[in-house]
Amino acid sequence: MRCPFCGHAETKVLESRQVEEGTAIRRRRECESCARRFTTYEKHEDTPLIVVKKDGRREEFSRVKIKAGILRACEKRPISTEEIDEIIYEIEKNLRNQYDREVPSKAIGEVVMSVLANLDEVAYIRFASVYGEFENIQRFIQELHELVERKRILEKEPSK
C-alpha cells in the first residue's frame, strides 16, 4: 500500500479490525519512510448501485456524496464521525436490500432524512432545507411544525 503523503511503497499495519458487521476490514497503517499514519479499508466489491436522478440521468451510488451531505448537516453538532460512518453503512445496506440495481435519488434523500430526524433535529432541518428544495418560507415552516408534532407524539408514547 502506497503512502498517501509521500508515495513510499512500504507501509506496516499497526492495527486491523472488522467493521460494517464483518463485511470490511479497517487497517491503521504507518509509512516506513515518513512515519505518518493513515487508515485503509478492504471491502468486497459489490455490483454497483445506480442512482436514478430526477431528470432521468444515472450515476453510480457514492458513499462520498452521502457522507458530504450528512457531514454538512451535522456540522458543529455532537455527532461523531464514527456515528456518521455507521449511518452511511446502514443507509447503503438498506438501499441494497430494498433495490436490486437502481435506486431513485428521492429514496436516498428520504432515507437520509429519516435517519437524521431520529439522530439530531438540527441536522435533520439542515439536510431537509437543501434536500427538500422548499419553494418558500411557508413550506419550510410547515416542515418545522411537522417535526415538532412528530416529536410531541413520540414523547407521549409509553416507552417499551
Residue 160, pLDDT above cutoff 60: no
**Distance in angstroms between the alpha carbons of the first and the last residue of the chain:** 49
Per-domain residue ranges of the chain: 1-45, 47-156
Residue type, 10: E
Which pairs with CB-CB distance under 8 Å and at least 24 residues apart come from 61-65? Answer: 61/92, 61/95, 61/103, 61/108, 63/88, 63/92
Which one has a higher pLDDT value, 150 or 62?
62
How confident is residue 128, by pLDDT bands cut at 50, 70 and 90?
A: confident
* Segment 81-115, tens digit of pLDDT: 999 999 999 999 899 999 989 999 999 998 998 89
* Segment 49-90, tens digit of pLDDT: 999 999 999 999 999 999 999 999 999 999 999 999 999 999
> Radius of gyration (Cα) for the chain, nearest Å?
19
Percent of residues, the chain, with pLDDT higher than 70:
96
b/e map of 41-65 (b: 16 or more CB within 10 Å)?
eeeeeeeebebbeeeeeeeebeeee
User: What distance in Å separates the CA atoms of residue 95 and residue 107, rounded to the nearest whole number?
Assistant: 8
pLDDT of residue 36: 97
pLDDT of residue 159: 57
Q: Contact at 8 Å (CB) between 2 and 40?
A: no
- Range 25-49 average pLDDT: 91
pLDDT of residue 22: 79
